[in-house]
Structure 1
């Protein structure tokens, strides 16, 4: 079928690297003889835990959005305007069947794994999880069809997301310190989503390992892993400032205020992880420990940003210092010296920031 070559084959060819990584994660990290047991345990794990199942469904919905975005981009390209003269002529059930088939062919990996998960969940007695998976995938298959049909009827229209972004940018005044956050939401949503998915999995697994026995040190380890996973976002923050906010130091803003603005930005970026921790430990946790975990994550990310003002620090040196800082905080945490570690990190971050902020010069390759 010609449409399959245009949509399906092109989709899998374009995302070859993505599927190779996915294949390695699901089939390459364990020996061949242990694959059935590995996947059976994995499926029982997320079908038997409501929070884990919600996270899996969220990941599947992100993949579905990836499929929808691919089809929309293909329909919007100049090389495929002829599709409006072919698919646009379809009427009745033939139109819906065609779009359903095209969407299923690229949504198939989730559909196949979801089908297997449904069978395993039903055999394990998790009937509600099986129903949720079936209903969820039915929605994921059918909901985009109306969008495709509307796109064929109105090829020049702007998507709802784009209209919402334009309205939001016109209506609300954004402070300068929040520009990087808006950059992540608008142009780097994939990096942000991947980091949040990873950190959510880490927190859920950390709380599962505790098995009802509350241990703030275990939570601290989970937070440190989350911070490590998001350190790349801090590294990209420097590149964004170098490219678009290089004149920022010339504005009449006190250095202490700039430092607090960085802390506030990272507090907002790490808010989903902190909220998830509080929700997962609501009955056993302590407010003092929650505050400690929040301050630890924000302090470390602020320290990472301050490190990037040092002269001659490249990506390798940056991640080396990131690992060193996390190890130091880890050992202090294991010794129950939580607040001392926070003070140490904050004092170091503030000293670096205050000393290097106005002396920092962006590398030439960053501003060309």
Structure 2
């Protein structure tokens, strides 16, 4: 009971908002009479498509890492050092049963849903998917136990994430223009991972709904939805520059080079979605269409970043511009005026960037 208060109850109390959002999207927005059929269709969708199942497993993996990080953080807290004198004395089967019980109580939402998914997959004769889900969850349940046991035996050892950050900072040369990318990999991995996983779901759903008839307008709409999930990352880019790179404009570098470097950063940011989309439609899409999609994505992000050089561009105004840009692109896409849309994005983006870059001053309240 004491361990439940320290680990399980505290975990769910700290993540109440997270679970409310998940509950709303999976249960709240669906009418009660359609709830069962909705989840049956959802499970049939990802058990009948290995690409979709891979993304679902990735989402489950991220949740499992969240559980593991919570346990490790509790064990690392100074006010929980007494746990080393209680859990640390356990040996053999008692030790592993205790860690298994603790982890299963945290991983239970995924475990229950995956068991239901396995049963439905077996009923639909998707035996390979059922096997994948079963083996995956076995790994997700038992692999963390070794991590917890190692933490108990080596309490001063840095976590894998900390060692990854140390290796990244020590061995990889960081160009100034790519600093925000390293910030996302080091200190904002949660936002980055959520954006990429959701974008992956959108790409797979778009390609599945399109069927066998390829339509670049349909793909463009799906890719614009993927870009929409990167918007908050672009908004945070200004805050990062204000805090850490406010002296960057004083370096002797032409504005057009800074513009190209920012575009290169956003090109790298969109690579995961672009690679997945290319893999899904390679046999149907013309190379020019794939180049158009990537150019559109980078152009949208560049315009959104350029707009943030207006100091009074708060989040509400920023989101209004996001809506205007995306609606405009949807109409241009319906008319198949793709390259005109890219030009209409790049011209104001570069114009604003060129005229506002050296005039921009970070608000004082953002750098204190």
Deviation at 1:167, TM superposition (A): 2.2
**Separation in 2 of the partners of 1:284 and 1:84?**
58
Give the structure 1 partner of residue 256 of structure 2: 256
Output one character per residue of 1:313-366: Cα deviation in whole Å (capped at 9) or x when no partner.
111111111111111122111111111111121111000000110111112221
Give the structure 2 partner of residue 349 of structure 1: 349
Give the structure 2 partner of residue 80 of structure 1: 80
**Separation in 2 of the partners of 1:172 and 1:26?**
41
Give the structure 1 partner of residue 150 of structure 2: 150
Output one character per residue of 1:142-192: Cα deviation in whole Å (capped at 9) or x when no partner.
001111111101101112332232122112220011111111111111111
**Separation in 1 of the partners of 2:192 and 2:171?**
24
Aligned counterparts, 1:1-368, within 5 A: 1-368=1-368
Q: Is the 8 A contact 2:46 2:56 kept in 1?
A: yes
Q: Note the aligned Cα RMSD (angstroms).
A: 0.9
* Secondary structure of the structure 2 residue equivalent to 1:213: coil
**Separation in 1 of the partners of 2:160 and 2:224?**
37
**Separation in 1 of the partners of 2:169 and 2:22?**
36
Deviation at 1:226, TM superposition (A): 1.3
Q: Is the 8 A contact 2:46 2:53 kept in 1?
A: yes
**Separation in 2 of the partners of 1:167 and 1:281?**
36
Structure 1 residues 89 and 281, CA gap change in structure 2 (3 angstroms): same
The farther-off stretch of 138-147 and 196-205 is 196-205
**Separation in 1 of the partners of 2:67 and 2:311?**
43
Deviation at 1:305, TM superposition (A): 0.3
* Secondary structure of the structure 2 residue equivalent to 1:359: coil
Q: Would you identify which runs of 4 or more consecutive aligned residues in structure 1 move more than 4 Å?
A: none
Alignment gaps of 5+ in structure 1: none
**Separation in 1 of the partners of 2:14 and 2:222?**
34
Deviation at 1:198, TM superposition (A): 1.5
**Separation in 2 of the partners of 1:42 and 1:246?**
47
Alignment gaps of 5+ in structure 2: none
* Secondary structure of the structure 1 residue equivalent to 2:284: coil
TM-score where L is the length of structure 1: 0.98
Give aligned pairs, total: 368
